[in-house]
Structure formats: structure tokens, C-alpha cells
């Protein structure tokens, strides 16, 4: 799993909330797992959208606004739509994963802290609905000791869908990273600016530390 090199990427630790959300959105979209939610950044952006929208509405209703002001209003509205697109896509991506892995989330408490209360409640509702459906359509016809969704019989695929951390992802190193172990036993060292294709599990901790981002 070789690496390509790009121009050194300088991470700005004073990123705006929108720049932070762009990174979280990109990581969430490319990660096979559900990443920790970013409620503070999300709430900041939603508040910004509300305030900007109210300001634009007031300016549009002002009959004395000049042509230049109308042009600036148009630019501001375009930027708001851009932010709204990223926010909506981020939320949709998370809810898609939550619905896909609902049963896994419910039975694994370490996943709970990654979700907001709203997301966790949604996961529980989805898991319950799926369990009711399976009980009605399939499981009730099985022996009682084989009706558990999380039953792990030998050579039988689990009925609880879990994130596939063996999935390959493209990773950009934001800083020089310590060596990580590949599935074949070899080690991989990523320097700042390197791009590599590797199983998600290999770089999961580096992503959590903010040392890399998914692209």
C-alpha cells in the first residue's frame, strides 16, 4: 500500500467553524465507522445560518438598499446555501449510518458517547423497529434459543451489521505520524503531506487524534 506525496499541508489550528465542519463532513463521508459527533461546531454553524438569514431578510426589505448592497446580499446568500449544503449532507450521512448500524449501536455502549441524544434515540427506535420486523417475519419460526439477534453461531454471519473497518480509505497525513501496523505485519510511516490507501482500522487512532484526515 504505497504512498503518494503532495505539497506539505499546513494545518491551521484556528480554522473557522465552517472549515472545521468541512473536515468533519469529509471524514464522516469517507469513514466506514460512525465518528464522534460534532455538536458544538454544528450548533455554531446553525446559529450563524439563522443570524445571517435574518440579516439578509432585513436588508432585502430595505427599499433604500443600493445596487452594490444587493450584490453583497446575493453573495452572502450564496455562502449561506453552501454552508447549509454541508450541514445537511453531514447530518444525512450520520443518520444513514445510524440507521444501517442501529442494532450494533444499541448493544455497544462505547458507541453511545459518539452520538447526540437525538441520534441515540433514533438508533434505538430503528433497532426496535428492525427487531420487531425480524421477530414477526423470521425469528418466531426458529427455536427459542436461536431467536436472539446477536447470537453468534459458528460459520453463521451475524444478524447485527457492524462497521467494516477493513475497508480501504485514502488518508492524508496532516503531520508526521508514528508507525502503524499493517494487516500483513509490515509497518507504515506517514510523513506530513503523504497520501496513502490503507484499511481504515490501521489509521483509526490517528484519525481520532487529528493527525490525519480522510479524502
Q: Is 59 exposed, middle or buried (0-12, 13-18, 19+ CB in 10 A)?
A: middle
pLDDT at position 155, please? Answer: 47
pLDDT tier, 10 (very low <50, low <70, confident <90, very high otherwise): very low
Residue 132 lies in a domain: no
Residue 53 lies in a domain: yes
CA separation for the pair 79, 154 (Å, rounded) = 54
pLDDT digits (tens, 9 = 90+) for 38-47: 999 999 999 9
Q: State yes or no: pLDDT of 6 exceeds 70.
A: no
pLDDT digits (tens, 9 = 90+) for 123-165: 999 999 988 877 776 656 666 655 555 555 554 457 789 999 9
Q: Are 53 and 80 in contact (CB under 8 A)?
A: yes
- How many domains is the chain built from? 1
pLDDT digits (tens, 9 = 90+) for 90-134: 999 999 999 999 999 999 999 999 999 999 999 999 999 988 877
Residue 19 lies in a domain: yes
pLDDT digits (tens, 9 = 90+) for 161-210: 999 999 999 999 999 999 999 999 999 999 999 999 999 999 999 999 99
Provide the domain limits for residue 24. Answer: 3-101+163-214
pTM for this entry: 0.83
CA separation for the pair 54, 62 (Å, rounded) = 13
CA separation for the pair 26, 183 (Å, rounded) = 25
Residue 153 lies in a domain: no
Residue 147 lies in a domain: no
Q: Are 95 and 122 in contact (CB under 8 A)?
A: yes
Q: What is the CATH number of the domain that holds 180?
A: 3.40.5.60
Amino acid at each position: 500500500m504505497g504512498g503518494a506525496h503532495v505539497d506539505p499541508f499546513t494545518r491551521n489550528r484556528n480554522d473557522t467553524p465552517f472549515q472545521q465542519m468541512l473536515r468533519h463532513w469529509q471524514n464522516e463521508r469517507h469513514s466506514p465507522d460512525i465518528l464522534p459527533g460534532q455538536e458544538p461546531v454544528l450548533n455554531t454553524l446553525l446559529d450563524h445560518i439563522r443570524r445571517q438569514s435574518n440579516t439578509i431578510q432585513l436588508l432585502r426589505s430595505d427599499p433604500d438598499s443600493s445596487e452594490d448592497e444587493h450584490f453583497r446580499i446575493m453573495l452572502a446568500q450564496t455562502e449561506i446555501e453552501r454552508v447549509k449544503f454541508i450541514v445537511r449532507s453531514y447530518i444525512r450521512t450520520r443518520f444513514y449510518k445510524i440507521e444501517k448500524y442501529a442494532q450494533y449501536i444499541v448493544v455497544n455502549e462505547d458507541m453511545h458517547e459518539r452520538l447526540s441524544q437525538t441520534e441515540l434515540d433514533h438508533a434505538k427506535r430503528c433497532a426496535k423497529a428492525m427487531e420487531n420486523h425480524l421477530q414477526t417475519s423470521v425469528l418466531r419460526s426458529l427455536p427459542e434459543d436461536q431467536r436472539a439477534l446477536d447470537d453468534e453461531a459458528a460459520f453463521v454471519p451475524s444478524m447485527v451489521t457492524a462497521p467494516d473497518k477493513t475497508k480501504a480509505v485514502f488518508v492524508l497525513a496532516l503531520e508526521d505520524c508514528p508507525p502503524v501496523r499493517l494487516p500483513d505485519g509490515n509497518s507504515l510511516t506517514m510523513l506530513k503531506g503523504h497520501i496513502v490507501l490503507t484499511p481504515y482500522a490501521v489509521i483509526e487512532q490517528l484519525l481520532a487524534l487529528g493527525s490525519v484526515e480522510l479524502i
